[in-house]
Every structure is written in C-alpha cells, then in structure tokens.
Structure 1
Amino acid sequence: MKRLDNILGLALEKLKPLYIVASEDRYILSEFKDKFVENYVDENIRDFNYTYLEDSEDFPVLLKNRANTPPVMSGKRFILARTSGYFTEKQEKDELIVSLFKNYPGTTITVILVDGKLKNTLKTVKAAAEIGEIIEISAPRFAELDKWIAAEFQKRGKKIDQMSVKFLEEMFSNNLQRLESEIEKISIYNYDKDIIDINSIISIVSRDRLYEDSLGF
C-alpha cells in the first residue's frame, strides 16, 4: 500500500511512463485507479487525453493504438487499463504488448491494473519492467490493517479505539471492500459521535448479521 501512496505523491513530471499494479484484492486496484485519475488527469483534458480500457479480445490492439495516439493540446496522454488474463498467463497476442513497450511513446503514461498474481517469467512483464515499475500488492494485515481502519474512520471525522479495530478485523478479516462498507455504515449511524467505541459498532454489525442470517447468507 505504501508503494502506491508513494506514486500518488509524485509530481506529474516524476511519473514513470508505465506502471503495472497487480493484486488479488479488487478494492485496492479500484481505489488506486480513482485516486490516480483524480491526482493527475485534469477534468478539462479527459475527453481527449484519457482512456480507460477493460479486458477484451482486442485488449492488446486497443492498448497499442491508444498509447501511440498523440495527446491533444496537452503534454501527456493517460491510459488506465484493467485485465485479468494478460500478465498473469501467456496469451496469443502478447507480442503486440511487448512491441509497444519496446517502442514506447514519450507522451503517454499508462497504468495497467492486473486482477491476480503476475507471472514474472512472461515477456510482457519483463518488457514492462525495463521502462516502468512493477508493483504487486496484497491487502494489509496486522499493524498495517490497524492503521488502514483508523485512517478510514479519520476520513469521516471519527476516531476509533483499538478494541473496536480488532473487533472489525475479527468480523471481516482484511476484506477491504467489506470493511470500507461497514465503516461507512458505522459512521453514518453514529453521525453525532466523534469517537467510535465497541458498543457503537456491535449494535450495527450484530443487527446486520442477524438480517443476513435470516436471508440465508
């Protein structure tokens, strides 16, 4: 997580031309995508100089074509792409991606989000490492997860004690998407409280768990 924060803290001119960010936690990738766009892609250039690509049969062709398209009235073009097949296993059209990376345009910044575990022996991964940065991220655990939960409450103007943090971890492990949803719910229900304690959480979580059990979840 810290490596992603380090990227988001860079000035635009310090960004590398290519980032491959891989994780088995979809929440991490989605959150990084949103933050990267917010940080670096001005709204007034998004119509012409920003492309978001999702997995498809034509993924390599589209990626190569978009990357080689010059920016319009701007110094940079941005591409955010998401895939689960490429970079995790060998694909028929890998050579198109390798060719792009070996002749990469200086006017494009690309972030490729990979759902899954990278296969580092692939030519695509090796070619990406030569021009950019490869990052593999797991959901936080232990002390790092403690800090993440506390930070999520802090974003909402709340503080949380350590007992409550541990209770949430016991209930939802390090499932960040579920944790974020529960933290949002807890903060809304306790809008008039600055400090969230265990009693503030149990009443809400227990009620929801009873409801889920009644539906057979």
Structure 2
Amino acid sequence: MKPEEFDRALEKGEIAPLYLLCGDEPYLVERAVKKLLDRTVDPGFRDFNLNLFYGNECKGEEIFSAAQTLPMFADRRVVLVKKGGELSASAQEVLLPYLQDASPSTCLILQADKVDGRKKFFAEFKKRGEFVEFKKPYENQLGPYVRDEVRAAGKKIDAQAAELLAYLVGNNLQELVSQIEKLCLYCGKKEQITVADVKAIVSDTKVESVFEFTDALGSKDTARALRLLTTLLDDGEAPLRILGGVARHYRQLWQVRELLDRKLPNSEIGKAAGINPYFLNKVLQQARNYRVSELLKIFEGMLELDLAFKSGGVEDALFERFVLEACKPAR
C-alpha cells in the first residue's frame, strides 16, 4: 500500500487489523501513526483501548494478550508497537500465530525505521496486513510537498517561494513543516505566501546560516565559510546537521558539473537537475569552480567527517580542515 492509498483508505474509514508502518522519514511515519490513532481510538477512551509497547523492551506474550483483549466502550482496540523492527526472535515467534488469525476488533500497528523482510514474521505481516513505507522525498519533490502542506493549512504559496523554502531547509520534513507553520502565522490573513515572506522568516533561523555556509563553500570563499562555520558551531548547531546541508549542496554541484561536461544548454541542465530557475545561475557558477576529481575528494572528506562525528571526533578542527580542503583553488 502506498502512502497516498493509506490516506485515502483512512478518509473512507477503512481500517485494517494489521499495519506495518516504516521508512527512513520518521516525520511521515509518526504522522501516519497519529492519523491512524485519530481514526481508530476516541481520545476519551484511550486509557481503556490503547496499549503502547516498545519492540526492544516488551515480550511477545504481552502484545499477544493485549491484541486479544476486547475493546471497552468502543468498537476497536489499538495496540501500537514502537520500534517494531527490534522485536526479539522469541517475540516474533509468539506473535506469528496472531498474524494468521488477527482479532477483527483490534488494530495492531507496528512502527519501525526498517524491518528485515527476510524474516518469516515480517514477511507474514506484509502478506496479511497493510505494509506502508514512507521514504524521504527527493529534492525535486520538495517544492510540490511544500505547496501541498501550505494548501492543507488553508493558504497558497508562489512557486518560487516554495522552491526557495525547500532549498533553504532541505529534506528535513520536521523542520520544513515547522517553517511552513511559522510562515502561515507570519502571513496572518494574507492568503498568498511570497519569496519575501520566506526570506523574512527563514533568515531568522539557523537554516539560513547553513544555507549561507554551503553557498560560501560552493563559491570557494574560504574566509566567509570559516566565519560562518564558527558562528554555526558556537550557536549550538549540530555538526551532523550542517554536514547534511553540505552534502546536499555538493550532490547538486556534482550533478550540474557532469551536465556541463556533457555540453547541455543551461535550460536543459536546470530541468535535468530539478533546479528552479531562481537558483540556476548561482549553482552553474559554483559548479564551474570544481572538477569531478575535486568533488570526489570532497565526498571522501565528508565521509571521513561523518564517521568522525559519530565516533566523537573533535568537531571544530575537523570541519575547519574540511573547509580549507574544499575551498582550495583548482589546479
């Protein structure tokens, strides 16, 4: 079942007894779980009809017993298992018979980042229940995603404003939705959100600073990049989050660099790379600053940074060295 099919089924009131909701975009998974809970359990009776477990802590017998319990003062009981992908082998074995004869008055929800589909339990869950996977949107899908979210909030947004917001924030959907909420509040009764509105709101956040930092890197402006990096780290911005913005920017530059080497016209490069005309000239200019061999070394450097940060490396010094390497003039 695709996410849009999941949404349509909920709107029609079609509730299945088994759901496996997972994916690499936690915001979308969490939102899907909330939608499902809103449709299945009356808030006034959740104390009676909602059982919450964590897959890395609970026993299969506990989940089985809760799922077999009849609802109280309602038509349906919900059993939600967070971290469902971490259920122990013994818990999976205990629950396997339940999947083959699930209670029609219970909605069993497994929420997970990922599951091992090779295991019999999850293969059986997918076969007998509804499996919905929520993936991070690609960069060229972010603009339409912003427009949909703004429309759901009762407003409209200019195409360039949507692309600007997506470009500044990236595919961190939690942050993106947060910025959309701020924009809607900022615009008040005004129906249309413009580029000026986006600049007014996002420029007051760390998101804008990360954008300025990646812009300085792409321009090989060493002094500005080092200054912005220091500001970001001093303000408490997470190094891994900064690195995510850097990786996104260099992926785009690499794609455009290869298209330039193929001698494509600028208009075709913009379409092929999914870059809004609003940003195209700057990205083209920065891509010309690099050769593919340089970009390869930069990505190797980003991998080293990622591994170092996750193992507790000295963040400031490592990042500063990366900036110096990335901003070296082309030989």
On whether the aligned pair clears a TM of 0.5, the verdict is: yes
Where does structure 1 differ by over 4 angstroms across 4 or more consecutive aligned residues? Answer: none
Q: What CA distance in whole angstroms lies between the structure 2 residues aligned with 1:48 and 1:150?
A: 39
Instruction: Indicate the residue corresponding to 2:287 in structure 1.
Output: none
Q: What CA distance in whole angstroms lies between the structure 1 residues aligned with 2:18 and 2:128?
A: 7
Per the alignment, do residues 59 and 159 of structure 1 end up closer, same or farther by CA in structure 2, a change over 3 Å counting?
farther
Pairs within 5 Å for 1:142-181? 144-181=141-178
Q: CA RMSD in A?
A: 2.4
- Asked whether 1:120 is paired with 2:117, we answer yes
Q: Over alpha carbons, which structure has the higher Rg?
A: 2
Pairs within 5 Å for 1:197-216? 197-209=194-206, 213=232, 215-216=235-236
Per the alignment, do residues 44 and 123 of structure 1 end up closer, same or farther by CA in structure 2, a change over 3 Å counting?
same
Per the alignment, do residues 7 and 60 of structure 1 end up closer, same or farther by CA in structure 2, a change over 3 Å counting?
farther
- Aligned-partner residue type, residue 99 of structure 2: F
- Aligned-partner residue type, residue 8 of structure 2: N
Q: What CA distance in whole angstroms lies between the structure 1 residues aligned with 2:82 and 2:72?
A: 23
| Larger relative contact order (Cα-Cα within 8 Å, sequence gap ≥ 6) | 1
TM-score (normalizing by structure 1):
0.85
Per the alignment, do residues 192 and 9 of structure 1 end up closer, same or farther by CA in structure 2, a change over 3 Å counting?
closer
Task: Say how many residue pairs are matched.
Answer: 212
Q: What CA distance in whole angstroms lies between the structure 2 residues aligned with 1:125 and 1:169?
A: 35
Answer 1 or 2: which has greater strand percent: 1
Cα offset, 1:55, TM superposition: 3.5
On the 8 A contact 2:139/2:171 being kept in 1, the answer is: no
On the 8 A contact 1:53/1:63 being kept in 2, the answer is: yes
Instruction: Indicate the residue corresponding to 1:98 in structure 2.
Output: 96
- Aligned-partner residue type, residue 132 of structure 1: G
- Asked whether 1:130 is paired with 2:127, we answer yes
Cα offset, 1:215, TM superposition: 0.8
Identity between Structure 1 and Structure 2 (%):
25
Q: What CA distance in whole angstroms lies between the structure 2 residues aligned with 1:202 and 1:73?
A: 51
Q: 1:110 is matched with which residue: 108, 111, 115?
A: 108
- Aligned-partner residue type, residue 173 of structure 1: G
Instruction: Indicate the residue corresponding to 2:76 in structure 1.
Output: 76
Q: What CA distance in whole angstroms lies between the structure 2 residues aligned with 1:69 and 1:84?
A: 20
**Secondary structure at the residue paired with 2:188?**
coil
Per the alignment, do residues 154 and 130 of structure 1 end up closer, same or farther by CA in structure 2, a change over 3 Å counting?
closer
On the 8 A contact 1:20/1:133 being kept in 2, the answer is: yes
**Secondary structure at the residue paired with 1:119?**
coil
Pairs within 5 Å for 1:22-61? 22-61=22-61
Q: 2:4 is matched with which residue: 2, 5, 8?
A: 2
Query: Unaligned stretches of 5+ in structure 1?
Result: none
Cα offset, 1:3, TM superposition: 2.8
Q: What CA distance in whole angstroms lies between the structure 1 residues aligned with 2:101 and 2:189?
A: 56
Cα offset, 1:183, TM superposition: 0.8
Cα offset, 1:202, TM superposition: 1.0
Answer 1 or 2: which has greater helix percent: 2
Per the alignment, do residues 144 and 189 of structure 1 end up closer, same or farther by CA in structure 2, a change over 3 Å counting?
same
